[in-house]
Amino acid sequence: MFRIYQYESCPYCYRVRKTIDSLGLKVGIDFEFVEASYGTPGRKEVIRLGGLSQVPFLVDGEIQMYESLDIIDYLQKKFS
């Protein structure tokens, strides 16, 4: 199961969420969302894991990535 660190009003996170929806992935089965708006424990975890204070941030095992278009490409290749 992969994790997406994100927050609701982020337009780049929105793109990733729409892709996840289009792929039919299920929360709690395929992935989990982690709230990562400024000042949250999720944002601190993003910085600790990847070194940048940027979302969306994907963690899938050893794979970590920040850029929304890279995340979308990765998910489409993995789940299409």
* CATH (domain of 57): 3.40.30.10
The tens digit of pLDDT for each residue in 5-62 reads 999 999 999 999 999 999 999 999 999 999 999 999 999 999 999 999 999 999 999 9
The confidence band for 76, taking pLDDT boundaries of 50, 70 and 90, is very high
Domains contained in the chain, number: 1
The pLDDT of residue 68 is 98
Neighbouring C-beta atoms of residue 8, cutoff 10 Å: 10
Contact 46, 38 (CB under 8 A): no
Q: How far is residue 6 from each of residues 12, 80, measured CA to CA in Å? A: 9, 22
Q: Which domain holds residue 35?
A: 2-79
Per the document, the length of the chain is 80
The confidence band for 79, taking pLDDT boundaries of 50, 70 and 90, is very high
The pLDDT of residue 34 is 98
